[in-house]
Structure 1
Amino acid sequence: MNRGIYIIANDKVIDHAIALLNSIRLHDTETPIIMIPYDENYHRIADILNTYYGVQTYEDLDFIDRLSHKLHETFGGKFFARPNQFRKQACWFGPFDEFLYIDTDIVVFEKIVDNLNYLNKYDFICCDYQHSGGIKNVFSPKVLEDKVFTNTEVKDIFNGGFWGSKKSLISEQDLYEIFSECAAHPEYFDFSEKTSDQPIINYMLLKRIKSRFNIVRREGKAPGNWAGTPHFQSQGDILFDSKINQPLQYLHWAGIRIQPGCPYWEIWEHYRRLNPSLPPSTIPTPETKNQWQHMVENLKSQLRQLKTK
């Protein structure tokens, strides 16, 4: 069985991609990894990732262009905050029979590709607690009012930054049909926090793939993985979820700017520095915040903690 990992990136996220690849290769030097270009500015990162980590660039760039054109044709130019995120859907058509997709604002703490073993029983996997916050950032209550999905089905919503599946379960025509369905019903989706592709991908998976498994529902519970979670504890170069005393599988800074002072900055910085052959990070130190900005940040932190309780 041909397995691999896809990422999506451009030259603006070189530091993030290096930290992610350092963490992957620390545990796994062999699994092939393919980068899907986020836009036309990807040649520098492609060269770095190929030279130091053996990452290949996605070959069928014509498909990616076709997908982007169809997306714009269907939704127009103002529907999504970051429409190029949809390029990750090229995963369904690449060379891997089974694949993981991983966002670059993630570091992993294990041989992450082994999670594809769940595909022996299921057709789609994810690994997060997005569902614990309800349907926010994915759907509006309208999907339940109109019986588009049941209350049970929406418990399978997931974060679009980490997921895995099998080649060709979604066809190109499936993508275009889903685009049309979603464009006809924008009232079904929650784009209030600029989540871009996540609502549409969730709609597609719930409609098209019935055999799904969220790894956090495994027997014996599973750790969290969002960097906004306050109770993770460092033990060396990994984190533990103190509520269940289990090591994290990965950490995702979804919605959080990775910079000095952000949650678990020291962990990210450790993985960014793991390859001494590469120059140090270019992420700048943020400007000193005034009293009002500190008050806003404290309020956001308190809200994040309430969400995790």
Structure 2
Amino acid sequence: MSRGIYITANDKVIEQAIALMKSIRMYDSETPVVLIPYDDNYQKIASILTESYGVEIYQDLEFIDRLSNQLYQIFGEGFFARPNQFRKQACWFGPFEKFIYIDTDIVVFDKIIETTNYLDESDFICYDYQHKGGITNVFTPKIFADGVLEESDIQDLFNGGFWGARKNLISEETLYETFSECAAHPEYFDFSQKTSDQPIINYMILKKIPRRFNIVRRPGGAPGSWAGSKHFQVTGERQIVDPNVNQPLEYLHWAGIRIKPGCPYWEIWKYYRYLDEPMPDDESLQPKTKSNLWQTIKKIVGERF
């Protein structure tokens, strides 16, 4: 296949995966989407996505397990809080010649596969302002002080939730070699907030792929994408504009933000999740907390006695 989209998900993120796929299919009914299971608990979400949105399951599940386990073991047992994040590296070896990877805590506002057009002139693309926030959650200053990377490389830092590339640009051996390099020098990477793959994958792209392009640097600029940005202007149920460049967003990413009533741009996410479904009230969508559970138990007990 010439181009397509990869996502990862399991049964714990069913709601987010549905919202993402509804937004993708709203603007694009044809582009193939492949699910890389986040773990073995994915049967329910796989059934929903395949039946309702034409999503396919990554064919070689044994390869995904082997790849992610070997990458995890390079750093040693227990080093990473979320080792299954490495499973997305199967993107390099899947069916698409050109692809984008999208996290499930994202909704899109356009035919997002068109971003792969930038791969005509580049080998790797990203689309965010991660670099504006400095090197937190990616590197420590020591990696620049020791000359491993140049200060100018900071402008190419990216968020691991949305990126695109060409198939086989990174080999399996390159992945193992890169992880080994990083494991030998953990002092170069910022794992303080329990991030897993983002520091290592940024390092790999910076060191191995010179023809890379961040879409926000296109002529005329490009909009942001992080839901933590407060300056975006919502102009409709599914329209949101970045006034800094006077352009509509192409996607919105709730990275590091729990998607629930009251979160930033909640109405946008809710619109896509319940597209073509009855719209529930926010109270019914509030996450169940331990205190709420205890209150329910007390109420039941009180009613009985």
TM-score after normalising by structure 2: 0.91
Q: What aligned pairs does 1:244-259 form with structure 2 within 5 A after superposition?
A: 244-259=245-260
Matched, 1:36 2:63: no
Q: 1:45 to 1:280 in 2, by over 3 A?
A: farther
Q: What aligned pairs does 1:122-137 form with structure 2 within 5 A after superposition?
A: 122-137=122-137
Between the aligned residues of both structures, percent identity stands at 65
Larger Rg: 2
Q: What aligned pairs does 1:19-58 form with structure 2 within 5 A after superposition?
A: 19-58=19-58
8 Å contact 1:128–1:159 — kept in the other structure?
yes
Q: What aligned pairs does 1:113-262 form with structure 2 within 5 A after superposition?
A: 113-236=113-236, 237-262=238-263
The amino acid across from 1:97 in the alignment is E
The amino acid across from 2:257 in the alignment is I
Secondary structure of the corresponding residue to residue 151 of structure 2: coil
Q: CA shift at 1:79, angstroms?
A: 1.7
Q: 1:19 to 1:5 in 2, by over 3 A?
A: same
The amino acid across from 2:152 in the alignment is T
Partner of 1:8: 8
Partner of 1:93: 93
CA distance in 2, matches of 1:127, 1:114: 13
Q: 1:288 to 1:220 in 2, by over 3 A?
A: farther
The amino acid across from 2:162 in the alignment is F
CA distance in 2, matches of 1:194, 1:263: 23
Q: 1:82 to 1:152 in 2, by over 3 A?
A: same
The amino acid across from 2:114 in the alignment is D
8 Å contact 2:31–2:113 — kept in the other structure?
yes
8 Å contact 1:260–1:286 — kept in the other structure?
no
Q: 1:275 to 1:76 in 2, by over 3 A?
A: farther
Secondary structure of the corresponding residue to residue 36 of structure 1: strand
Partner of 2:62: 62
8 Å contact 1:259–1:286 — kept in the other structure?
no
**Runs (5+) with no aligned partner, structure 2:** 292-305
Q: CA shift at 1:272, angstroms?
A: 0.2
8 Å contact 1:15–1:283 — kept in the other structure?
no
Q: CA shift at 1:72, angstroms?
A: 2.9
Partner of 1:270: 271
Secondary structure of the corresponding residue to residue 15 of structure 2: helix
Q: 1:33 to 1:75 in 2, by over 3 A?
A: same
CA distance in 1, matches of 2:233, 2:192: 31
The amino acid across from 2:269 in the alignment is W
Partner of 2:109: 109
Q: CA shift at 1:264, angstroms?
A: 0.4
CA distance in 1, matches of 2:276, 2:147: 51
Partner of 1:299: none
Give the alignment's Cα RMSD to 1 decimal. 2.0
Secondary structure of the corresponding residue to residue 107 of structure 1: strand
* 61-70 or 8-17: bigger deviation: 61-70
TM-score after normalising by structure 1: 0.90
Residues 59-93 of structure 1: CA distance to partner in whole angstroms, max 9, x if unpaired? 11111111122123211232212110010000000
8 Å contact 1:99–1:167 — kept in the other structure?
yes
Q: 1:278 to 1:241 in 2, by over 3 A?
A: closer
CA distance in 2, matches of 1:52, 1:114: 23
* 38-47 or 75-84: bigger deviation: 75-84
Q: 1:232 to 1:187 in 2, by over 3 A?
A: same
Q: CA shift at 1:55, angstroms?
A: 0.2
Q: CA shift at 1:284, angstroms?
A: 3.0
The amino acid across from 1:132 in the alignment is K
8 Å contact 2:72–2:80 — kept in the other structure?
no
Secondary structure of the corresponding residue to residue 152 of structure 1: helix
How many aligned positions are there? Answer: 289
Q: CA shift at 1:288, angstroms?
A: 12
8 Å contact 1:127–1:162 — kept in the other structure?
yes
CA distance in 2, matches of 1:232, 1:189: 31
CA distance in 2, matches of 1:163, 1:178: 19
